[in-house]
A = this chain, B = another copy of it.
Amino acid sequence: MASKVYTKDRHIIQLATLVSGPGSILFKKADLAAYDCDGFTVQKYLPRAVVFPQNAEEVAAVVKYCSENGLPFLARGAGTGLSGGAIPINGEVIISLTRMKRLLSVDLENRRAVVEPGFINLKLTHAVSDQEYYYAPDPSSQYCCTIGGNVAENAGGAHCLKYGVTTNHILGLEVVLPNGEVVEIGKNGIPDAPGYDLLGLLTGSEGTLGIVTKITVRILKNPEAKQTVLAYFDRVEDGSQAVSDIISAGIVPAALEMMDKIAIEGVEAAAFPVGHPKDIEALLLIEVDGIRAGIEEQINQILEVCRNRNVREVRAARDEAERERWWANRKTGFGAMGAISHDYLVQDGVIPRSKLPEVLSKINEISQESGLRIANIFHAGDGNLHPLVLFDSRVPGETEKAIEAGSACLKACADAGGTITGEHGVGIEKKEEMRFVFTDEEIIAQTDIRKVFNHDNLLNAGKLFPTPGKCAEIKQELKKA
């Protein structure tokens, strides 16, 4: 796509004075090309410049400069986001937070850690694992994604069924507002702190309200024990019903993952095959954790539930090594699709658990109508579907067809009483699909809130919300008049 090309203009010269250290600004076209998209690679735009501040003061100085000079800007972490939230669609100045990557403090007694936004998710668990603590949110990209990015997208992961998504683990934020002011939010990690819940509002706001420069997170004690069950089903309906039965039995698994036939074909063709049969329709991976004494009873209940639902084969992992192999196989997930398809598009919808069979069958219909294969790898326990539309971008028209099929999957989720994203965010990818779940009035209420923080809409504009329909615009004008 066409992008303006910026040279070393007066703004670049000024911005360079605001960030310290060598290589703290990029402005040449060749350098900028690495920042023209994130994990959503369908649209590409060059930024005006990329700056690498070292601390909150430098972030604030850059933000203030941009704000005073009317330059669009946005924040970027590791760039692993899947919905295009860090793509500079307005030729933004990108504020990269990758140099602000320190672990500032660990307070085991109060179970907190303070990190800079560029700190890698998995490194936090590594830093406290000797003391048997860990950081719970575990997106599949956790070995490279940043906690700042996790806050922006309210990232989830396989173990969020039991432990909740990022917002449940954030105790406080230091934020640079779009006017350059630095504020602290939710200072002390109190579940019901006084005042409005700004911490919740900022978390998951996809970089449209402010730039996070410091994060206080909750760390958890390692569970005493964990065990995983693997179950193969000949029919998707039986697998889905087993999911409902496990939850109804009062078990709260740490993770409850499902893969369908095409997904199994993919992970078995990828880096960590484990020999799953290729003729089954559904596979469940069910992990429980907690006090050692309680694990065996739960595992027995899970085995029984699966047997009552016509499981072909079901058993617990023989040892830790096998458990880890099963998870490594599952975690190759999305990437594994590359082994069986030239291209693929990940979608991210959520449905009430009871609607699993109905929506999976609808996705199957969408696949047949579009002529494209759709794999399903997903967090079944919390109804978070990930249809993977397989296509070949070299075939004319197939990319468009894939995008259409992906959107149809989201429509099916919304129609089933669900919604259009469970953990990947809206970004630029799903702006229009927001209309599946929000009225114009509800979108306006949210853009009004954006205005409170981001008055001139210079920070990450054009993301998250569609333009409200014409009727709504007229209504808003009338209100103002």
Contact = CB atoms under 8 A, between A and B. Distances in A.
A293 interface: yes
Nearest to A208: B196
Interface string A240-262: 00001001101000000000000
A99 interface: no
Number of chain copies forming the complex? 2
B293 A290 contact: no
Interface in A300-357: 350, 352-354
A446 interface: yes
A399 interface: no
B430 A194 contact: yes
Interface residues of A, number: 82
A195 interface: yes
Contact of A197 (B155, B184, B203, B298): B203
A196 B192 contact: no
A202 to B, nearest CB: 9
Count chain B CB atoms within 10 A of each CB in A195, A248, A434, A453 and give the residue with the most.
A195
Interface string A444-455: 011011111100
Given A293-B293, A296-B293, A445-B183, A350 B188 contact: yes
Contacts of A221: 248, 250
A192 B205 contact: no
Interface of A: 108-111, 132, 154-156, 160, 164-168, 181, 183-185, 187-188, 190-198, 200-201, 203-205, 221-224, 244, 247-248, 250, 290-294, 296-298, 350, 352-354, 382, 417-423, 425-426, 430, 434, 437-439, 441-443, 445-446, 448-453, 464-465
21 contacts: A109-B353, A109-B354, A188-B352, A188-B417, A188-B418, A190-B418, A193-B350, A193-B421, A194-B437, A195-B443, A196-B449, A196-B450, A197-B197, A198-B446, A222-B250, A290-B294, A292-B297, A293-B296, A293-B297, A445-B453, A451-B452
